Chains A and B, each alone.
Chain A
Amino acid sequence: GAVVSQHPSWVICKSGTSVKIECRSLDFQATTMFWYRQFPKQSLMLMATSNEGSKATYEQGVEKDKFLINHASLTLSTLTVTSAHPEDSSFYICSASFREGSSYNEQFFGPGTRLTVL
């Protein structure tokens, strides 16, 4: 299957700082990338859907000014957690897909980034 990478794999930062997470599709062009968040013992939750060249669509309850998503190319999407706080500590996962007609093709997931905010 296709490969999606994330960088960094883990990050520890101080409260109030901003953290950028990169998601790259290594061997295919991803028209759509998804960002998920998983808190301990909870299901994976979709945060936002990002289509190349357009603004991301955020799920209800996700602050777009806090979680900045940029999808400037078909192989790279970034998630920036601005002014991070301890409650933002979580496992962030991206996935990449491309659309065929009206349906999404298979999603390929990155390995995830564990963020710990002190």
Chain B
Amino acid sequence: EAGVVQSPRYKIIEKKQPVAFWCNPISGHNTLYWYRQNLGQGPELLIRYENEEAVDDSQLPKDRFSAERLKGVDSTLKIQPAELGDSAVYLCASSLRGVNEAFFGQGTRLTVV
């Protein structure tokens, strides 16, 4: 069974440019998470979906970040415009609803220059 798939793996953009990340969760997993991980830190939740509904987006900087999960499967996370401080690894994870165990994708390493 395929794990969580993310693309791209790496992205370098200039500040003020837009960027988008894509995630395909494990088949059948209702819950999808986007995390941001800064160097030397643990992952921090940006947004969590239950199917297509965003049930926790309190940590998402809504002035520049947006996310969607159409049809309750794939998800995209967008940043517009990007700032230097957005440089980090963006991780997608998924789990079955009601089951704690989350599985992570390979992540997207974003560098804003």
Chain B binds chain A: no
